[in-house]
Amino acid sequence: MKNPWKLPLGELTEVARQAARKDHGDVVTYVVNRNANFTRICHVGCAFCGFGRRPGTPGATTDTIDRVVARVGETPWVTEVCLQGGIDPDLPPSYYFDLVRELRKNFPWMHLHAFSPMEIDSLCAKAGEEPEVMLPRLRAAGVGSIPGTAAEILVDRVRKKISRNKLPVARWTRIVRAAHLAGLRSSATILFGHVETWEDIRSHFEVLRRLQGETGGFTELVPLAFVPYENRLGRMLAQRTGGMSRLEERIRRRARRLYPLARLVLGDLIPNLQTSWVKLGVEGAAESLDWGCNDFGGTLYEESITRSSGGRHGEGMEPEAIEEAIRRAGRIPRRRTTLYGAVKNPFSLGKKSCQASARGHFAL
């Protein structure tokens, strides 16, 4: 294969499209899921974030566990709940464990995709435990897998510029490795379209390749386009690039090249490449199925993080609408579990088709 980093865009896209088709045929998967963002309190202060609130400032709140359970109970048909929040130095480890146990107790059919490496780092610090001890404990409590977020760009020089208080690359890698070795698989992510160079992206992919070669624990790569509207970094970059529309165009151009590169550079080790309708819009996500993606992401009935940065594509997309978008792109939709297995739960359908049955079955 020719060096993908050097291919012109048209050829790169075509080779990536063919590679995805070879591995996945016409099938495009998606998951019926929701987020449950339980605290906005965060002392980290990432420049790209519109979600976190400094302790004591307006909007800096944490939900009670009962409140989170009630919210998740509004969508009993989901097969996955993604639990992530800010980094609140005063939220005790017991909250995280109780939250997981309560959700497991109330919704045993849901997979808990819980706590970013940054949250796990903070949990370790609070509990005085190493990741190699903490992660098996989280698994025993009921966590099913972890999101590979807080990766941003896995180059310390870049991390210092966009989120100087975030855990360093070596710590992120150690935590994700410990998760994989504890039997918890994870996604892998990359936040692109800000100050990173193509060389940084290459280094990021290299970190993921090395770790995947070691553990095999990544389920998919989820490229996350930077949402610039309501955060410090977006304002600064818009000024530097000559306005928000120019910055948007730069992010679009980067996405256009990054997805096919991800398919070709990582696809042999991480076969699933997930698009994001929350970041790219439904049309953009459908288009990206021709850039090497084979997964449409999830229904995301609750999504606060992208919206807090001014994301313009809303939250919550019914399975029927996802399937329609996939079919319109000429592909075959297939629902999956978090870990890319077949869905067995007959009630894990969409709101329209299954809410009534789910209510009856689970006696909410």
Instruction: List contacts with ligand SF4 (CB under 6 A).
Output: 42, 44-46, 49, 51-52, 86-87, 118, 163
Residue 118 or 120 with smaller CB distance to ligand SF4? 118
CB of 209 to ligand SF4, least distance (A): 25
Decide whether 24 or 113 has the Cβ nearer to ligand SF4: 113
* Min dist. Cβ of residue 154 to ligand SF4 (A): 15
Q: Which is nearer to ligand SF4, 52 or 131 (CB)?
A: 52
Give 224 or 282: the residue with its C-beta nearer to ligand SF4: 224
Q: How far is the CB of 35 from ligand SF4 (least distance, A)?
A: 13
3-state secondary structure the chain: CCCHHHCCHHHHHHHHHHHHHHHHCCEEEEECEEEEECECECCCCCCCCCCCECCCCCCCCECCHHHHHHHHHCCCCCCEEEEECCCCCCCCHHHHHHHHHHHHHHCCCCEEEECCHHHHHHHHHHHCCCHHHHHHHHHHHCCCEECCCCCCCCCHHHHHHHCCCCCCHHHHHHHHHHHHHCCCEEEEEEEECCCCCHHHHHHHHHHHHHHHHHHCCEEEEEEEECCCCCCHHHHHHHHHHCCHHHHHHHHHHHHHHHHHHHHHHHCCCCCCEECCHHHHHHHHHHHHCCCCCCEEEECCCCCCHHHHCCCCCCCCCCHHHHHHHHHHCCCEEEEECCCCCECCCCCCCCHHHHHHHHHHHHCC
- What is the closest distance, in whole angstroms, from the C-beta atom of residue 110 to ligand SF4 in the complex? 23
Contact 273, 267 (CB under 8 A): yes
Please report how close the Cβ of residue 39 comes to ligand SF4 at its closest, in angstroms. 9
Supply the angle between the helices 244-266 and 9-24 in degrees, to the nearest 10.
50
Please state the closest distance from residue 311 (CB atom) to ligand SF4, in A.
14
For ligand SF4, the closer CB: 118 or 255: 118
Shortest reach from residue 53's CB to ligand SF4, in Å: 9
Structure tokens at 338: 């978090």
CB of residue 162 vs ligand SF4: minimum separation in angstroms? 9
Looking at the Cβ atoms of 33 and 37, the one nearer to ligand SF4 is 37
Using the minimum distance from each CB to ligand SF4, give the nearer residue, 20 or 41.
Answer: 41
Looking at the Cβ atoms of 163 and 173, the one nearer to ligand SF4 is 163
